[in-house]
Amino acid sequence: MSQKQQYIYGPVPSRRLGLSLGLDLVPYKTCTLDCIYCQLGATTNKTIQRKEYTPIKAIVTQLKQKIKDGLEADYITLGGSGEPTLNSKLGLLIREIRKITNIPVAILTNGTLLTDKSVRDDCALADLVIPSLDAADEETFRKINRPHRDISIENLISSLVTFRKEFSGKIWLEVFLLEGINTAPQQTEKMKKAIERIMPDKIQLNTAVRPTAEPYAKIVTRQKLTEIAGRLGPKCEAIAYAFDENKPEQSETKSKVAPRKAEITKSLLSMLKRRPCSINDISSVMEIHPNEVIKYINHLRMQNLILAVRKNKIIFYKAK
Ligand code: SF4
């Protein structure tokens, strides 16, 4: 990795987390799963091996600089170009963050490595953990999440149950619903039973409002999402459509993010008028992190200024 490699992106406005500063703990695209709805595209390194994929020392140095420059953020979010708990120095990173700032730490994880006690101990150092659970039976799990061969849905659910007992912070469980794949009443019923065992603080329902890795990963209507949320109980909310409402987010309007966002959006649109580009193309040309690119792309899509086209399994964006 080059000296100039950026492991930090944002802060970017996030409807769930306010202003979120993203830390990238694994290189593109290293994950234990290969979800059919992944916005980052196909997993190129499917693994369960933990190691220091991204050097923690470099992340901490970049974070210190951000703080020195007057960082404003509601959360420091550990995520990135794949599954962050694959980084074996996750716990050390959180301890280092605690030494330099009081900003709360959130982890976005697919939860599959929580079977490992050391991963649960690392995650328990955070303030908020947002794990995913898209299926409650093995067949649906394999269809949607295409896991590493050593991962099973029962182990995933049991480890979330164990983690809930060990962790005193907040757990917001994200469930990604895809039409005709995990929306049948018997699947929702199994999901409800799994949720009752896990006891998260919140359940947030998402769906494919944005282009997905596979074209057959289809969106669930707003009405159906709301109905399923009702069936899953009072702690469950449908968040997918709220993310794409075309209005500035509160945290965005009150911060210095807005001018930067306007500037980047303008250059991005002019780039997409010249030629169609993938998330990775944009990321390397504009030198911004793929996850941050996704935010700008979504903003332009909401304004109906660009469209997505799929070619050889890669999603390209172009101006209308
Ligand atoms: S767990 Fe997240 S990063 Fe990994 S493939 Fe699924 S959606 Fe993509």
Q: Per the structure, how many domains does the chain have?
A: 2
Residue 238 and residue 314 share a domain: no
Helix axes 257-274, 290-302, angle to 10 degrees: 80
Residue 48's nearest CA partner among 155, 128, 201 is 155
Task: Tell me, in angstroms, the distance from the centre of ligand 1 to residue 43's CA.
Answer: 8
**234 shares a domain with 266:** no
pLDDT-flagged residues of the chain (< 50):
1-3, 245-248
Same domain, 40 and 62: yes
In 3D space, the residue among 283, 264, 268 whose CA is nearest the CA of residue 319 turns out to be: 268
Which of 218, 243, 268 is the endpoint of a domain?
A: 243
Q: How far is the CA of 76 from the centre of ligand 1 (A)?
A: 19
Best CA proximity match to 74, nearest among 132, 131, 15, 6: 15
| Contact predicate 153/141, CB 8 Å | yes
| Predicted pLDDT of residue 2 | 44
Centre of ligand 1 to C-alpha 35, Å, is 5
Kindly state whether residues 236 and 275 are assigned to the same domain.
no
What pLDDT, on a 0 to 100 scale, did the predictor assign at position 255? 57
Q: Separation of 254 CA from ligand 1 center, angstroms? A: 31
| Token code pair at residue 14 | 């996030």
Measured in angstroms, how far is the CA atom of residue 151 from the centroid of ligand 1? 14
Same domain for 216 and 272, yes or no, is: no
Atom of ligand 1 nearest to the CA of 37: 7
C-beta separation of 210 from 302 below 8 A: no
Ligand 1 atom at minimal distance to the Cα of residue 145: 6
CA of 227 to the centre of ligand 1 (A): 26
**Structural domain contains residue 30:** yes
Q: Is residue 15 one of the residues assigned to a domain? A: yes
Pocket test of ligand 1: the residue of 32, 34, 38, 114 to mutate, having most ligand atoms within 8 Å of its CB, is 38
Query: Whose CA is closest to atom 8 on ligand 1?
Result: 38
Which ligand 1 atom sits nearest the alpha carbon of residue 29? 3
CATH of the domain at 94: 3.20.20.70
Distance CA 103, CA 42 (A): 32
Residues with CB under 6 A from ligand 1: 31, 33-35, 38, 40, 43, 82-83, 110
226/301 same-domain check: no
- This prediction's pTM: 0.86
Query: Domain boundary at 187, 209, 243, which?
Result: 243
Query: How far is 100 from 27, CA to CA, in rounded Å?
Result: 24
CA dihedral 302, 303, 305, 311 (to 10 degrees): 0
Same domain? For 145 and 293 the reply is no
- Does a structural domain hold residue 143? yes
Q: Whose CA is nearest to atom 7 of ligand 1?
A: 38
Cα 153 to Cα 157, 160, 298, distances in angstroms: 6, 11, 31
Instruction: With beta carbons less than 8 A apart as the criterion, state whether 100 and 63 touch.
Output: yes
Task: Tell how far the Cα of 32 is from the centroid of ligand 1, in angstroms.
Answer: 8
Q: CATH number for the domain including 305?
A: 1.10.10.10
**Is residue 53 domain-shared with residue 180, that is, in the same domain?**
yes
Residues in the chain: 320
pLDDT in tens, 123-142: 999 999 999 999 999 999 99
Query: Of 28, 36, 110, which is best to mutate to test ligand 1, by the most ligand atoms within 8 angstroms of its C-beta?
Result: 110
How wide is the angle at C-alpha 126 spanned by C-alphas 121 and 131, nearest 5°?
A: 85
Residue 248 belongs to some domain of the structure: no
83 C-alpha to ligand 1 centroid (Å): 7
- Do residues 239 and 111 share a domain? yes
User: For residue 113, is it within any domain?
Assistant: yes
Residue 249 lies in a domain: no
Q: What's the rounded Cα separation, in Å, for the pair 111 and 97?
A: 22
For residue 239 the two structure tokens come to 């968040």
Question: Which of ligand 1's atoms lies nearest the C-alpha of 132?
Answer: 1
Q: Are residues 231 and 295 in the same domain?
A: no
Task: Mark whether 112 and 238 lie in a shared domain.
Answer: yes
Give pLDDT, residue 25. 96
Alpha-helix runs per DSSP H in the chain = 56-68, 90-100, 117-123, 138-145, 153-166, 185-198, 222-232, 240-243, 250-253, 257-274, 279-286, 290-302
Ligand 1 center to residue 299 CA distance, Å?
21
Q: What is the span of the domain harbouring residue 77? A: 8-243
